[in-house]
Structure 1
Amino acid sequence: MMTSPVVQIVSECYVKPMGSTKESNHLCNLTPWDIAMLSMNYIQKGLLFKKPDQHDFIENLLDRLKQSLSLTLLHFYPLSGRLVTQKSEDPSTYSIFLDCNNNYGARFLYATLDMTISNILSPVDVPPIVESFFDLHKAVNHDGHTMPLLSIQVTELVDGVFIGCSMNHVIGDGTSYWNFFNTWSHIFQAQAQGDEYDVPILRQPIHNRWFPNDCSPPINLPFKQEDEFISRFEAPLLRERIFHFSAESIAKLKARANSEAKSSEISSFQTLSAHVWRCVTRARHMADDEITSCKLAINNRSRMEPALSRDYFGNAVGVVSAESTAGELMEHDLGWAAWKVHKAVANHSDRAVRNMLKEWLQCPVVYQLGVHFDSSGVTVSSSPRFDMYGNEFGMGKAVAVLSGYANEFDGNVTAYPGFEGGGSIDFEVSLAPHVMIALESNEEFMEAVSVSNPLH
């Protein structure tokens, strides 16, 4: 009986920032947006590259990745720290901070796998082995008290290299994550051209955490023990598949939605999210009176007045929701559903954000995967606007973006830019196996899905 290949960890070390700054030796207060993420998993995203046929390539790559990472961490020093809890009984206090001390560093793993790029990208579903391309499997963000806040795993395949990054979601959101990744790539390329230490970066992260006017940090949480707000959600058996939507296909859906809604305001992303919502709801065969929702992770930076900088490093993400009964959703057309999604986004103003924060401060909530994200709707996270394919580490453009186990649940949808760019979008959809089969049999859904050669 043949055994399936497994990822073998070859080496492990810690990479520390190349020097220190005055700011990197203090306790940093966490915002409501940060604290709400404590029970979620780490962000796990990575890039798959074709491996050049060069002598000693992997040894040189690992050395250069570590050197460029060390300089990158000087700019993104919170990723080298740890979380700390301070509590007392009289008076009763329970506060969590980010210890920015540079002494810890980021974990760096090198691993090997006897599989090819084709073995990873040719199957219809994302193969389970991809979960092993990331460190800190199933860790929740509260584990950042004792585990690294950032871990890089470089997995060498027969003909490829996967660079997987696990970043603590308390420290930053998707915008922060990809600013770090883009900066690392920029520094890597600059150092390859001879700029060893003095590399000007394009987007200097802003580390001053933002708090609403009526909040004076640190935030005293209404807990006594971590088990009051930390849970470890185990995802049920799911199928995960990446569906590709070309720019042309999305444009047709958008035109249809705006025509049906007698509007010109519904965006491509809102249309595509509503299309997936309707088709998944149909595939689930829900009762007509059952409530279903389409939730979108949304960047609060541009919603604030004045706006937060796009370089703000931390969490500034909210969730908006369009809701309907399953019966209503099925009775109406795409334009009706897309307009509901559009209105949920359009109504997410500075006032709405501040009201949510005010409610949170009155009754702090830590998101729980098994509670706040239900399997009767879809939740769309990440963004095709993030620069994922612009990252190069001496191997040319990546051939795929892939995610780890983190934050997976029935109805989870992760958005990526399509490989060819130009407005194309990939949706990685996680569903119960029987629902995925029904979705794949849905003509309306599959008509919009474009055939894409995964090996490009």
Structure 2
Amino acid sequence: MPSSSTTIISKFTIYPDQKSTVKPLKLSVSDLPMLSCHYIQKGVLLSAPPYPFDDLVLTLKDSLSLALSHFPALAGRFTTDSDGYIYITCNDAGVDFIHAKAKHLTLNAVVSPGLVDVHPCFKEFFAYDMPVSYSGHHIPLAAVQVTELADAVFVGCTVNHAVTDGTSFWHFFNTFAAVAKGGGARKLPKSPDFTRNTVFNSAAVLPIPAGGPAVTFDADEPLRERVFHFSRESILKLKQKANSSSNGFPDSAEVIAKNVNDGWKTVNGNGNGRVAPMANGNGRNEISSFQSLSAQLWRSVTRARKLDAAKTSTFRMAVNCRHRLEPKMDPFYFGNAIQSIPTVASAGDILSRDLRFCADLLHQNVVAHDDATVRCGIEGWEKAPRLFPLGNFDGAMITMGSSPRFPMYDNDFGWGRPLAIRSGKANKFDGKISAFPGRDGNGSVDLEVVLAPETMAGLENDMEFMQYVTESVCLA
């Protein structure tokens, strides 16, 4: 497939509308390990705006400036003091704004139902050539690239991963979109919480290797990338299967339907598609819809990799710790507040036992990740500070990131909600999975799956997996 040949038209430095009053923010136990990871790259594909593109560029530049006044940390830079502590200095140094064109590309060409793999153009729709987050000492901590297509526009946001996790990233993106739409103060999301007096604040110092950190995986290995869509109905079937009656759980589709998607409910009753966990009849003993989907992916990828039965496979799942701590952190805490939950099993057990086996392993680990477990993880890191080892080191790992609960489609810049969510080329390796909400909402999920070409081919031929994959909602 040919390159998209994206052309950079202009590049600007955008400064916050108001001077920052935020004091330097010390990187936490959850921030520091991300210094060896690439910047986060996520963006939204939108229909063409109903006014000239040059006007859109001006609007987005002004809106970004206003949004940065709410998120002054993103306009800062890293500094390291004499003791080795790294801070975000909120010095209003600014972020990059790039205007680009790829007018030869149409909406149908880049997200056509007939397009199997993710179109390579999206790798060019983000700023920077995959710097690690430690680079925030000398380059901006964030950048926005707006790319004009023949009949669409892509707004790509690149943010330092040692500054934000997914929760904080989408909080900023939502605010940026709300400002662009013309929302007053009452319509904007809640302001971020820059508090640093949390359990993640630590006196531990992370040793930085000579020359700075480097990514821990081969960024040039051959890969394929697909987005698989799972409707509410498909996920309902998986959840029912994982919660089978053989273990004392009801197998009635009618009963399971009442609790589909973890009993998710619409937040604040505003109908915007955002979801949050809600107690249900089976409580913490019920395997969730997302755990069921993850378990099926684990089984099918393990089969596609043709692993030896004795080989141990690891499924890593990133979890938000804000609500797991006692007392709970502010849900709008700005920074990283995540930990990785590893679940392990032999390839033989994964494939010889039923879906519930894998789903229950994932479920039990997630349920057990409580306040004590979070604090234990922090203490363990403080005893041996280290960078986060991202990658597939033994050929049998899967890493699940992002979340279908993130409000990715709540980004209306003034003329409609996104048509699709896409990421860039950063942090991609064999076994990297990112979970997005489906555009049709209602508990649907998109999985962005990155695998070695031969493994992807095996997954595509795995009928146990593909029977649950459904066609994405029409973009029209």
Q: TM-score, normalised by structure 1?
A: 0.91
Overall identity of the aligned pairs, in %: 41
CA drift at 1:231: 5.5
Report the CA distance shift for 1:314/1:190 in structure 2 as closer, same or farther (over 3 A).
Answer: same
User: What does residue 90 of structure 1 align with?
Assistant: none
User: What does residue 283 of structure 1 align with?
Assistant: 304
2:100 pairs, out of 111, 129, 134, with: 111
Report the CA distance shift for 1:333/1:216 in structure 2 as closer, same or farther (over 3 A).
Answer: closer
Q: Distance in 1 between matches of 2:394 and 2:403?
A: 21
CA contact 1:233–1:369 (8 Å) conserved in 2:
no
User: What does residue 147 of structure 1 align with?
Assistant: 139
Q: Distance in 2 between matches of 1:344 and 1:207?
A: 30
Q: Distance in 2 between matches of 1:65 and 1:399?
A: 19
1:124 pairs, out of 116, 122, 127, with: 116
- What is the root-mean-square deviation of aligned Cα atoms in Å? 2.0
User: What does residue 272 of structure 1 align with?
Assistant: 293
CA drift at 1:111: 0.2
Deviations 1:163-190 (A, max 9, x none): 0000001111000001101111112222
Q: Distance in 1 between matches of 2:206 and 2:11?
A: 36
Where does 1:340-359 land on structure 2 (aligned, <5 Å)? 340-359=361-380
The code of the aligned residue for 2:89 comes to D
Q: Give unpaired runs (5+ residues) of structure 2.
A: 250-281
Q: Distance in 2 between matches of 1:286 and 1:236?
A: 20
User: What does residue 177 of structure 1 align with?
Assistant: 169
Report the CA distance shift for 1:226/1:397 in structure 2 as closer, same or farther (over 3 A).
Answer: same
Report the CA distance shift for 1:4/1:377 in structure 2 as closer, same or farther (over 3 A).
Answer: closer
Report the 3-state secondary structure (helix = DSSP H, G, I; strand = E; otherwise coil) of the residue aligned with 1:297: strand
CA drift at 1:385: 0.7
Where does 1:279-318 land on structure 2 (aligned, <5 Å)? 279-318=300-339
Q: Distance in 2 between matches of 1:133 and 1:223?
A: 31
Whether 1:222 and 2:214 are equivalent positions in the alignment is: no
Q: Distance in 2 between matches of 1:226 and 1:351?
A: 36
How many matched pairs? 437
Q: Distance in 1 between matches of 2:105 and 2:193?
A: 40
CA drift at 1:97: 1.4
CA contact 1:187–1:199 (8 Å) conserved in 2:
no
Q: Distance in 2 between matches of 1:222 and 1:435?
A: 36
CA contact 1:391–1:398 (8 Å) conserved in 2:
yes
User: What does residue 100 of structure 1 align with?
Assistant: 90
Q: Distance in 2 between matches of 1:454 and 1:6?
A: 27
Whether 1:388 and 2:408 are equivalent positions in the alignment is: yes
Q: Distance in 2 between matches of 1:351 and 1:435?
A: 38
The code of the aligned residue for 1:15 comes to I
Deviations 1:338-393 (A, max 9, x none): 0000011011011011011001011101113347x654121111111111111111
Whether 1:236 and 2:256 are equivalent positions in the alignment is: no
1:32 pairs, out of 8, 29, 35, with: 29
User: What does residue 78 of structure 1 align with?
Assistant: 73
Q: Distance in 1 between matches of 2:314 and 2:387?
A: 20
The code of the aligned residue for 2:324 comes to R
CA drift at 1:52: 3.7
CA drift at 1:158: 0.5
Q: Distance in 2 between matches of 1:358 and 1:212?
A: 10
Whether 1:190 and 2:182 are equivalent positions in the alignment is: yes
Q: Distance in 2 between matches of 1:142 and 1:224?
A: 11
Report the CA distance shift for 1:216/1:378 in structure 2 as closer, same or farther (over 3 A).
Answer: closer
The code of the aligned residue for 1:208 comes to T
Report the CA distance shift for 1:140/1:331 in structure 2 as closer, same or farther (over 3 A).
Answer: same
The code of the aligned residue for 2:375 comes to R
